[in-house]
Amino acid sequence: MTPVLEARGLTKTFGAVTAADDIHVAVADGEIVGIIGANGAGKTTFVNMVTGYLKPSAGQILYRGTDITGRDSREITKLGIHRSFQIAQVFPDITVLDNVLVALGVAGDLPRTIFKPLRSPKTEAAADEIIARYGIGEYRNVKAGLLPQGVRKLLDIAMAMVGDPKIILLDEPTSGVSADEKLEAMRGLLKVLKDDKVTVLFVEHDMEIVGEFAQRVIAFYDGRILADGKPDEVLSDSSVREFVIGPELHRRSAGKD
């Protein structure tokens, strides 16, 4: 069966620095893939190339067997490959409702320069449905800049889901969510995505989240894939424990999470 997403020899250099080096990944339709690695390991570079925010220096990206290498982020979004960011990309001075209305307008092919809520009874009903599905209905009329960090993150993901994506790449989906709530938040988020039959790749530093929810884990180190397989196998791999999990534990104990 043709993978829904495939990277073949994906490489990105910045001058003398190789940020991603000969990455080979094939993702099956409906898979939930956790991506781990220390800061600077190549995770975000990989995500940026797949979603059109960076052009590869070498290699190919295929979506359902079609070469999409070098297409820009808007073209790739139109194909059905969406993403969220580590820092929520929301408009702080307008409400949750209006943020989703803006996303609906962009998904409906309004020019990128027009960041205005697309307001009508139909679009408001659609926005309210999205807001309810992501459990942020109580914040409907609150300005995004006043939201708790975890709620702002959910709003960002809800906006990324506008336009019926087939693949979503999530950058640290539980960042900003309290330790007591992160498991339940991730469980609810993945239920929505599974119900919509969306393939999920998520970058995550929290190994508890990775072990609990990923069906497969890809570990990056120094721009390359260090390990790729079932969560229990990857997370117990000696190299992964030394170069990925060890630095993460140190980062957390130093209060850098």
Judged against a pLDDT cut of 80, whether residue 112 lies above it is answered with no
Q: Mind listing the pLDDT tens digit for each residue in 60-109?
A: 999 999 999 999 998 999 899 998 876 667 899 999 999 999 888 766 55
The CATH architecture that domain 1-80+164-257 belongs to is 3-Layer(aba) Sandwich (3.40)
Q: What percent of the chain has pLDDT over 70?
A: 89
Q: Phi and psi at residue 120, in whole multiples of 5°?
A: -165, 160
Contact 150, 181 (CB under 8 A): yes
The pLDDT of residue 43: 95
pTM of the model: 0.85
Beta strand residue intervals within 74-223, DSSP E = 81-83, 167-171, 199-203, 216-221
Q: Which tokens hold the place of 172?
A: 């640290």
CA–CA distance, 62 with 16 (Å, rounded to integer): 27
Q: Residue 81's closest CA among 198, 165, 170, 158?
A: 165
- Burial bucket for residue 164 (CB in 10 Å: 0-12, 13-18, 19+): exposed
- Per-domain boundaries in the chain: 1-80+164-257, 90-163
Q: The tokens 């938040």 sit on which residue?
A: 185
CA–CA distance, 169 with 199 (Å, rounded to integer): 9
Summarize the confidence of residues 27-50 as an average pLDDT: 96
CA–CA distance, 4 with 72 (Å, rounded to integer): 19
Q: Mind listing the pLDDT tens digit for each residue in 212-223?
A: 999 999 999 999
